[in-house]
Structure 1
């Protein structure tokens, strides 16, 4: 959730810290700050507000060592006093992502020792604990090591101290941190995006690692305090991938990147066929033993899982259950025998999902398959099987290309299981391959309809509420469309299975209620048309997104837009106009599209 950057260099680190924070703004935040260490000691600059305001406040600052932070409020309101870094005693600065669960007890102990607190945060406890350990004679590393052993919860820490003038320390427990090295300078950050302008040589900290950065290099210690090696990698990611280019917002850019992202994600399946090896060397044996699938996810990824349930059950006859990770982790139910867990996450660091995966280990499963956009995330390291989406860096908080590439991989999974479990006939597999092959082109054709959807958005921007309807595979897409409108346009919207309309939501329909409908020209078309007649009879405004031929069947719709038919992959294609509709509605309303209020990109706390 929060963003962390640390830099140790022979040049002024302030511009680098600010650039890193700008590249982490997508994670969501309400205040920001930097902490600097120079020959005069420690200095803090903090603001309640955006990084641009922090840059103005620190325009004359200079140092060769510093840490920086964007805060998403958990303990204490957004304010300068609660902004990071926090000061321990007079010698320690700390930035922190995560939650210290036993902070209240530790605060009471520190208060009894004479420490005074100037914030409402749990983070300030960490800073004072480190100072207290140093007062007992420990050096900075020993003080951090002793402090971490007292903390409960999940966190990432960045630490600087005037008593260690050429050192930065960072700690990872349950919240991601990545290290980077350049020419005579070293970095840490909560996301590789913050490091791309400065280095592509990175390494990932493992759970409970402590890294010490100084002029000589970086040393890493495990949770027992023993030196360890963490392999470095050279990223094949261009810094330009984080630039906005000619687009108005990152969300608009990322919507437009979906044809290429889907083509990259589906490329191996199209080259090799729907083979188990796409998911890892153990996949063939694991898939052969699977008799039940449990999908775990949050947010948009949960909606992708719901679509996958339709695909897998219809293509393989395997029973599939889909759970919201934050609910599953607290249920006390064992898994059916031979259950495969499919865990879906853009970042691979979602706290609720990781906890749910670990809970599934205790309930009995065959293995965990991670579907993720980050190759060396916590989720991919915990899973036996891994399938990567090649969406690239997604900066907009509202998921777009990450969601559709997740769907692309889930379709690949369903087709692979169909081939292995049922020996699906060659003509059926050829049909699946053809649908995947033409999908990127059809997505590009759909993007060309943006201006018409912008006209729809002009009308929708005046609405206070909206309903989204879909049947079968398009029901989860209705949920996703409603979520997008809520996330970025701040319009209350609900998605429903169209058959549920008469079981309650119809009471809301009148001439002021826009009803956005996703429709295929298939065996359920007549059912959807009956639902639309119910809306028409109550005066509701119908906005129809349908396959070719649907508009002619619903001439009473207020607005209609026809999309190309693409068979089983219709949910992916139907998602794009809903993204564009939400995007242009938000633009009409003047909201902060890429950084919607109160939300964060990567939810690394419960």
Structure 2
């Protein structure tokens, strides 16, 4: 689930809710809805599709209220239907919106059915609405019912709840998913992202893990996980400065991991606005430069190099164009066979990476002037030295270990793939439209992967005492295994290596024993059965497996095989989504080991020396 906004005021809050949902559209979603308390009833409107469709229905039905909540949803439990859309209502009295995944929803569902509750959706969220209603019906205040309910939930959640029996109050809770409270004059708000309420206020309180909150027109009360009332700091939000503030996060790396739905959405904006894979995305003269490209040479370092390795699979499969990927510091010290019709692609978060800059200079000195830079910092050195440029819109990345820069680089490289494929006649209008649809839904899929954080954190406790780890992947997910290993060693200082899973029996299998955890990237793609065979090789030698799979990958768990499933397989862009859990694993392992997450030893954010 993707976006939350709620408001209580002395004015009509429906326009505020709709505006907030529109500002959350970057996250990706497939349905939207609002619920309001008016007089003695809860009214609700939901629609699949765009927020604008829901807005039109709300206007047509005359929605007008001083208390309400809204939500944009990307389906996990249950399909894309109006019945599964949020908000969910219990007994016509209580309405709730929810981001996250409730892991024990099936057990709670059976319990509530036994208590006489009927379910009208396939979602895990309806369970929470009925559970709060149950405690409310047994004499608890709205806040008290919320507090009791969340103690029984397992998983991740951000919740906002309203009840017609208490039209002066909205309550909220957070565990594993971001949620904040906005402070106004005679009105207050809740939201999953400050952008949802920025039109009404810039004063915000970031709720912390386990917090519950009671929000009225006149004030806010916050309670920690131990049910002690606490005072949380009030922040003045500035969109241009938001990336420089930690907010509710412990480290910038964690913050930047969670910023990825927005960063990807912002990076996608130009592609979506262009209505397709337009060469102009890369510069005014891009069509001329790219039209006769015969091959692609990608030059990068570190994480950016792994982005290039991922892109090679896309470029050769979709665009049908040969692609080579070189570590920049190696490329410039070997004799290259120059081809003036080869596109030189340099990738750098900072645009100042010395090895990459020098490799670009070397390529240009060989007479290769078809140059394209993918970068996150406008007007930095590498873009200035390139004919074509694509700026990712990740925002400032403070943590040394790159996260949102990597996933936005992947988006940029997929856009390049689409442009080259279109210019070469490799995709038709229908296929282009299908790829664009996948891109539009990508922020929502990434948000779902972020909701796996509590499960990944449990795995991290097992990794923390280890000294070595092995990462495996196949095809376009092999570079994601490389990226996972890099992240783990960068910030936790655990020695980690990555291999194509099929290479295991050619040497690395000798390292496998009970002391070396093996991480496997195993989405439900054409190589899944091959990966399963490789897993059997590890199990036969006593290795402990940690498998990142999809909901439909059909992996059986056992004492030695642990599985975390992303909600769905999203096809071509799956490497972007599977990046998220390996980032989270590295972060939480480092946290458990007590290392300096944002400033790992011996490393710098921008490498400007050879």
What do the CA deviations read for 1:258-312 (whole angstroms, capped 9, x no partner)?
Answer: 0000000011112211110000011111111100110000000000000000000
Residue 368 of structure 2 is matched in structure 1 by: 365
Deviation of 1:322 after TM superposition, in Å, equals 0.3
- Preserved contact between residue 335 and residue 364 of structure 1 (Cα < 8 Å): yes
- Residues 420-459 of structure 1 aligned to structure 2 (within 5 Å): 420-459=423-462
Residue 586 of structure 1 is matched in structure 2 by: 590
Residue 479 of structure 1 is matched in structure 2 by: 482
Aligned match for 1:571, one of 537, 556, 575: 575
- Preserved contact between residue 340 and residue 370 of structure 2 (Cα < 8 Å): no
- Residues 121-270 of structure 1 aligned to structure 2 (within 5 Å): 238-270=240-272
Deviation of 1:453 after TM superposition, in Å, equals 0.3
Question: TM-score w.r.t. structure 2 length?
Answer: 0.60
SS at match of 1:391: coil
Mapped pair 1:407 → 2:386: no
What do the CA deviations read for 1:89-127 (whole angstroms, capped 9, x no partner)?
Answer: xxxxxxxxxxxxxxxxxxxxxxxxxxxxxxxxxxxxxxx
Deviation of 1:556 after TM superposition, in Å, equals 7.3
Deviation of 1:551 after TM superposition, in Å, equals 4.0
Aligned match for 1:544, one of 547, 553, 556: 547
- Preserved contact between residue 466 and residue 513 of structure 1 (Cα < 8 Å): yes
Mapped pair 1:379 → 2:382: yes
Aligned match for 1:299, one of 294, 299, 302: 302
Residue 511 of structure 2 is matched in structure 1 by: 508
Deviation of 1:565 after TM superposition, in Å, equals 1.1
Residue 393 of structure 1 is matched in structure 2 by: 396
Of 264-273 and 367-376, deviating more is 264-273
- Preserved contact between residue 291 and residue 337 of structure 1 (Cα < 8 Å): no
- Preserved contact between residue 295 and residue 323 of structure 1 (Cα < 8 Å): yes
Aligned match for 1:488, one of 491, 498, 506: 491
Residue 525 of structure 1 is matched in structure 2 by: 528
- Write the distance in 1 (CA, Å) between the matches of 2:395 and 2:242: 11
Aligned match for 1:597, one of 587, 597, 601: 601
Residue 271 of structure 1 is matched in structure 2 by: 273
Residue 73 of structure 2 is matched in structure 1 by: none
- Write the distance in 2 (CA, Å) between the matches of 1:551 and 1:299: 33
* Structure 1 pair 547–269 and aligned structure 2 pair: CA distance change class (3 A): same
Residue 44 of structure 2 is matched in structure 1 by: none
- Write the distance in 2 (CA, Å) between the matches of 1:550 and 1:439: 20
Residue 334 of structure 2 is matched in structure 1 by: 331
Deviation of 1:519 after TM superposition, in Å, equals 1.0
Deviation of 1:239 after TM superposition, in Å, equals 2.6
Aligned match for 2:419, one of 408, 416, 421: 416
- Write the distance in 2 (CA, Å) between the matches of 1:551 and 1:483: 28
Aligned match for 1:290, one of 289, 293, 296: 293
- Write the distance in 1 (CA, Å) between the matches of 2:557 and 2:456: 18
* Structure 1 pair 601–366 and aligned structure 2 pair: CA distance change class (3 A): same
- Preserved contact between residue 393 and residue 408 of structure 2 (Cα < 8 Å): yes
Instruction: List runs of 5+ in structure 2 lacking aligned partners.
Output: 1-237
Residue 131 of structure 2 is matched in structure 1 by: none
- Preserved contact between residue 377 and residue 391 of structure 2 (Cα < 8 Å): yes
- Residues 48-127 of structure 1 aligned to structure 2 (within 5 Å): none
SS at match of 2:424: helix
Deviation of 1:376 after TM superposition, in Å, equals 0.6
Aligned match for 1:347, one of 350, 353, 360: 350
- Preserved contact between residue 543 and residue 560 of structure 2 (Cα < 8 Å): no
Deviation of 1:558 after TM superposition, in Å, equals 2.0
* Structure 1 pair 538–427 and aligned structure 2 pair: CA distance change class (3 A): same
RMSD: 1.3
Aligned match for 1:317, one of 317, 320, 342: 320
What do the CA deviations read for 1:133-160 (whole angstroms, capped 9, x no partner)?
Answer: xxxxxxxxxxxxxxxxxxxxxxxxxxxx
- Write the distance in 2 (CA, Å) between the matches of 1:544 and 1:319: 32
- Write the distance in 1 (CA, Å) between the matches of 2:373 and 2:239: 22
- Write the distance in 1 (CA, Å) between the matches of 2:330 and 2:242: 39
- Write the distance in 1 (CA, Å) between the matches of 2:334 and 2:484: 28
SS at match of 2:564: strand
Deviation of 1:243 after TM superposition, in Å, equals 1.0
SS at match of 2:515: coil
SS at match of 2:371: strand
* Structure 1 pair 264–237 and aligned structure 2 pair: CA distance change class (3 A): same
